[in-house]
Structure 1
Amino acid sequence: MRITVRVAAVQAEPTWLRLSEGVERVVELIGAAAGEGARLIAFPETFLPGYPWWRWVEANQWNVEYSTRCRENSMVRDGAEMRAITDAARDNGIHVVLGFGERQDRRIYMSQAVIDDSGELLTVRRKAGLNSVERKVFASGTPNLPAVHHTPIGKYGALSGQENQRPLLTRALRADEEQIHIAAWPGSAHGEVAGPDSMTTVSRMYALEVGAFVLAPCVVVGESAWEGTGSYPRPVAGPTGRARIYGPDGEEVVDALEEGEEGLLYADLEIGAQAVDGQQCESGRGTRDRKDRVATRRGSRRLAAGWQAGPDRWALPMSLGTYPGGIAAC
C-alpha cells in the first residue's frame, strides 16, 4: 500500500547560545510544520544552541568564554527543555529529528534526537567522527551504527554532517531499507571549510547510493552569530547553504528556498511497496513555504521501498528507553 507523507526541512538561524529562546523557536517551528500537514520535521546539525563557527576566531580568551556559554546552553536528554520539545511533538502529532548539543557533566556531545508523533524519545545518537574544530568544543560519542526507525510514516534514519559520506554508516542504513533519510548540516560561515556545494553533493549522492528520499536541513548563519565578538577578526563570510529535499534518483523534488532565507521546505513523498525487480522506486511532489508566496513543482516518478514493522537490527541497545533499539549513542 502506498501512502503520502508530508515532510518539512528547516532552513533557519539558531538563537545562538541562548537555550531557552532556542527551545521556544524549535517548538514554534514544530507547530508551524504540523499546521501545514507535515508528519516529519528535520532540524539542522546542532541547531541548539548553534554550531560553533566562532571557533575559527583566533582569540583564545574569547573562545574560552564562548565554549563555556556553549556548555551552559546545551541540553540534557532528560531535562525540562527536551520535555518541552517531546510534548510539542506529541501535541502536534509529528515526528521530530533534532540536532542539539547534549550536556553530560562537563562534556557536551553533538547529538541527534529522534522523537515520534506520540512524544516518545526513540533514540539519541552522539556523533563520533568529529573534525579538528569540533573536537575543541565537543566530546566524541561511541561509534555505534545508526538506527532505522520503523514507523507508520515509513522507515527513516538520520546522520549529522560528514557522517553522511561514511560508507560504514550509510551501508548500515541501506541494509535496513531506509526510505527517508535526514542529512543534517550546520550551514557554512568560513571560506576555508567545505561549504554549501559539498553539502549539496553529499546529500544528492546519499540519495543515489541508498535509494531513499533525503531531507537536508541547513542552518542560516547571520550577523547574530557573531554578537559579542567585538573587534576580533571574524571568519570570512560566505554562502550559508540551503535546505534541500532529494528523491532517490538524486533530483530535487521541490525548489529550494533562497540563500539565507529562513523558512520551512515542504515536500509530499509517496511511499509505496517494493518493486517487483527489487529496485527502490518513489514518486515525489514538493512545496515550499515562504513568507510571501508558495511555489510547487513535481519531482521525478519512482516508487519507494515498502514499510515493514519490526525491530531495528542495527541499533545497539542500551539500558535507557523502551523502544526496541534502546537509546543508542554514537
Structure 2
Amino acid sequence: MTTLPVAICQAAPIPLNFEAGIAKAAKLAGEAMEHGAKLVAFGETFLGGYPLWLDEAPGAALWDHPGSKALHRIMLEQAIVAGDERLLPLQELCDRHDAMISIGAHERVRQSLCNNQLLLRPGEAPLPHRKLVPTHGERLIWTRGDGSTLGVHQSPYGNVGNLICWEHWMPLARAAMHNLGEAVHIAAWPTVRETYSIASWHYAFEGRCFVLAAGLVQHRQDLLDGLASLGGNAEAEALIHEIPDEALNKGGSQIIAPDSRVLAQAGEGEEMLHAELDLSEIDNGLASLDTDGHFSRPDVFELSVSTEVKSGVVWD
C-alpha cells in the first residue's frame, strides 16, 4: 500500500475522568475514520489529561501535600490497566474500519502509574509503549518503562511506532526505533511548542519516516471540570487553583514528511488535522541518508537493547 490517510485529533482531554475521556476519543476517532483516516493520533496522556499541576502549581512538589495526594489517588483509581475493557469502544472502531489509533493514557501497573502511549490496531491487542524516563517533575507521579514496550506494529502500510515527549531527545532510543524501520512515527507531546517541533522535524529527517506530532489543548478549567465530574475533592481543587487561569497546552500539532517538510499544521484550538502520506517518499529519502544502514558505521558503534520485562521481582 503506497498511500496512508492519517489524522491527528488535537483536542482537550477530560482530565481524571477516564470513561468520559474514552467516550470523547471514540467520537473524535470515529469522525476521523469516517473521513478515511487509517491512523488516528492523540497527544500525550489524552486519557486522564496531562498533569498540569506538576509544572504550574507551586505547591505540587511539597512533601505530604494533600492536593497532590488526592490527585494521585484519583488517577490510580481511574487509570487504565492491562486488558482494560473500557478501551473496547476504541478497539471496535479499529476493527470496524481496519484502522489504528495512537492514544496516550495514565496506566496502573501494580501500585504505580505509567505514562503509556497505546497503539490500538485491528484484530490485535493494543501495543503499549511506556515512557522510558518521565521528564523532570513527572517523576513525582510516573514510574519508568522498560525495553519490553519499545516496539512497532507491522501494519500493511509499514511499521508504526510511538515515542513520548522528551524521549525524542534520547539518542539511543531514537537509534533503536530507527533500527525497527518505522514508516510512520507518532511523537506524542502535551503541546507542540517550537523546540518540540524541531525535535519532530529532526526525527522525521533522521529516521526517514513520516511523523505525526500530536499535541493536546488543555486549560486549568478542564482539570476543574474533570474533577467535578467525579464528585470533586476540596484538597485537589485547591491545588488546581494554583495553576494560572489560561490555556497551558496549546496544540500546535503537525504532520511531517521524511524530508522534514510540514504537510499539515494545526493552530492553538481544537481541530482535526488530515494528510495523505505518500509512502514512496521514504525509499526516495534513503538514497541520501539511512542512519540505520550506510550511515551507521557498525565497525565503530554498536547498540545493545534489552527487551526484557524489568519488574524487579522474580518468582521461581
TM above 0.5, yes or no, is yes
**Aligned CA-pair RMSD:** 2.5
Unaligned stretches of 5+ residues in structure 1:
188-194, 282-312, 319-330
Instruction: Check if 1:30 corresponds to 2:29.
Output: yes
- The CA distance in 2 between the partners of 1:275 and 1:220, in whole Å, is 35
Structure-1 residue corresponding to 2:299: none
C-alpha distance in 2 between matches for 1:317 and 1:49:
28
- 8 A contact 1:149–1:157 mirrored in 2: yes
- Residue 240 of structure 1: aligned partner: 250
- SS of 1:76 mapped into structure 2: coil
2:259 equivalent to 1:264: no
Change (3 A) 1:315 1:249: farther
Structure 2 stretches lacking a partner, 5+ long: 228-236, 291-303, 310-316
Q: Decide whether the 8 Å contact of 2:115 with 2:130 is kept in 1.
A: yes
Look up the equivalent residue of 2:141 and give its one-letter code: V
Query: For the residues of structure 1 that align with 2:245 and 2:147, how far apart are their CA atoms?
Result: 33
Map 1:41-52 to 2 at 5 A: 41-52=40-51
Q: Assess, with a 3 A threshold, how the Cα gap between structure 1 residues 109 and 96 changes in structure 2: closer, same or farther.
A: same
| Paired letter, 1:253 | L
1:175, CA displacement in angstroms? 2.1
> What is the distance in 1 between the residues matched to 2:262 and 2:286?
24
Alpha-carbon offset, residue 83 of structure 1? 2.7
**Aligned residue pairs: how many?**
276
User: 2:221 aligned with 1:211, yes or no?
Assistant: no
Matched, 1:4 2:3: yes
Cα deviation, 1:216-264, whole Å, max 9, x if unaligned, reads 110101242341635842148456231111111111012x2221x1122
Give the superposition deviation at 1:24: 0.4
Contact 2:188–2:214 under 8 Å retained in 1: yes
Question: TM-score scaled to structure 1, two decimals?
Answer: 0.76
Matched-pair contact (CA < 8 Å) for 2:38–2:97 = no
Query: Cα offset for 1:316?
Result: 3.2
Residue in 2 aligned with 1:89? 94
Contact in 1 for aligned 2:208/2:285 (Cα 8 Å):
no
Farther-moved stretch of structure 1 (28-37 vs 172-181): 172-181
- Residue number in structure 2 paired with 1:140: 144
> Which residue pairs with 1:225 in the alignment?
222
Question: Do 2:205 and 2:260's aligned partners in 1 also have CA atoms closer than 8 Å?
Answer: yes
Tell me how far 1:164 sits from its aligned partner. Answer: 1.5
Are the counterparts in 2 of residues 207 and 250 from structure 1 also a CA contact under 8 Å?
Answer: yes
Q: 1:218 touches 1:242 (CA, 8 Å); kept in 2?
A: yes
Matched, 1:116 2:114: no
- Judging by fraction of residues, say which structure has more helix: 2
Task: Report 1:1-330 matches (<5 A).
Answer: 3-55=2-54, 56-57=56-57, 58=59, 60-118=65-123, 120-144=124-148, 146-187=150-191, 196-227=193-224, 229-230=237-238, 232-235=241-244, 237=246, 238=248, 240-254=250-264, 256-259=265-268, 261-272=269-280, 274-275=283-284, 278-279=287-288, 316=307
Bigger shift: residues 162-171 or 141-150:
141-150
Q: In structure 2, do the counterparts of structure 1 residues 66 and 270 end up closer, same or farther at CA, with 3 Å as the change threshold?
A: same
CA distance in 1, matches of 2:33, 2:21: 18
Shift of 1:277: 7.0
| Residue of structure 1 in register with 2:230 after alignment | none
Deviations 1:70-100 (A, max 9, x none): 2212111212112332122212321111211
* Secondary structure of residue in 1 paired with 2:47: coil
Instruction: Tell me the TM-score normalized by structure 2.
Output: 0.79
Q: CA deviation at 1:145?
A: 6.9
Contact 1:98 / 1:113 at 8 angstroms: preserved in 2? Answer: yes
